[in-house]
Amino acid sequence: MNFEDALAALKKHVEPGRAKGMASYHKQTREVLGIANPALNDLTKSWRLTLSVPERVALAADLWSSDIFEARLAASKLLTQARIRPDDAAWDLIQSWVPEFDSWAIADHACMAGQKRLVADPSRIDQVEAWTTPDHMWTRRAALVITLPWTKQNFPKTRELEIRDRVLGWAASYATDHTWFIQKAVAWWLRDLSKHDAARVTAFLDAHGDSMKPFAAKEARRYLK
């Protein structure tokens, strides 16, 4: 399947009148076709089943390059799978997208794909750390979103705890950055972690909570007793 085939398949699922509302909700200036997420899920699932890994990476690159909203979502969904062998090309492609992030929906879908690749090879955390310092807000935010799997272990191993503490260090450096999306990402990371490691979240908030925006600190504490 090439890009033209994929785009034609996408356009078969356009819902008349949907594009305007989606563009407004997601604050998009790029082209929005008006396709519901379940349709994108079904399409990309069928493509994953029929395309080889190199074909999927190539198609994902072309879909992303089109700069169509749903095509970028589809590009991410093509690579959202736990087992991809080999996966270096997929990881490199996802990394190449990060500097282009400009909206939460596209960024979150790409980060979901990236989470799978990061879990498959946690040593890639070294590359993610470089995302914590650029001026580009969406890149800094992505460092937290892509590492969310490390908030979820109930019985983390030593290496998992090391990564958890490393990311908490990044979050601490973000505490005084009052950009809404950064504060929301810090709160998201802490809130999810609090379900499995309340002690670390409490310690973080004791140290940095006063530096955070009140809404973010409140969100981070949502599940703490």
**CA separation for the pair 87, 106 (Å, rounded):** 21
User: How far, in Å, are 38, 56, 122, 133, 146 from residue 45 at the CA level?
Assistant: 10, 11, 25, 35, 21
Which of 18, 29, 189 lies closest to 102, judged by CA?
A: 29
As a whole number, mean pLDDT of residues 10-18 equals 97
Q: Which two tokens stand for residue 35?
A: 């396709």
* DSSP three-state, residue 196: coil
Kindly tell me if the per-residue pLDDT of 116 is higher than 90.
Answer: yes
**pLDDT for res 103:** 96
pLDDT of residue 194: 98
Residue 11: band (very low, low, confident or very high) from pLDDT cuts 50, 70, 90: very high
Mean pLDDT taken over the chain: 97
pLDDT in tens, 117-135: 999 999 999 999 999 999 9
- Give residue 14's pLDDT band: very low, low, confident or very high (50, 70, 90): very high
Can you say whether the dihedral through the CA atoms of 100, 45, 115, 177 is positive or negative?
Answer: positive
Whether the link from the prior residue into 149 is cis, omega within 30° of 0, is no
Cα–Cα distance, 167 to 224 (Å, whole number):
20
> pLDDT per residue over 165-212, tens digit each?
999 999 999 999 999 999 999 999 999 999 999 999 999 999 999 999
| C-alpha to C-alpha distance for 80 and 111, rounded to whole angstroms | 9
Q: How many CB atoms lie within 10 A of CB 178?
A: 12
DSSP characters over 7-61: HHHHHTT--TTHHHHHHHHTT--S------HHHHHHHHHHHHHHS-HHHHHHHHH
State yes or no: pLDDT of 225 exceeds 90.
no
Is pLDDT of 44 > 90?
A: yes
pLDDT cut 90: percent of the chain above it: 99
Over residues 45-91, the pLDDT tens digits come to 999 999 999 999 999 999 999 999 999 999 999 999 989 999 999 99
Which residue bears the tokens 């093509």? 78
Q: Residue 165 burial (CB < 10 Å; 0-12/13-18/19+)? A: exposed
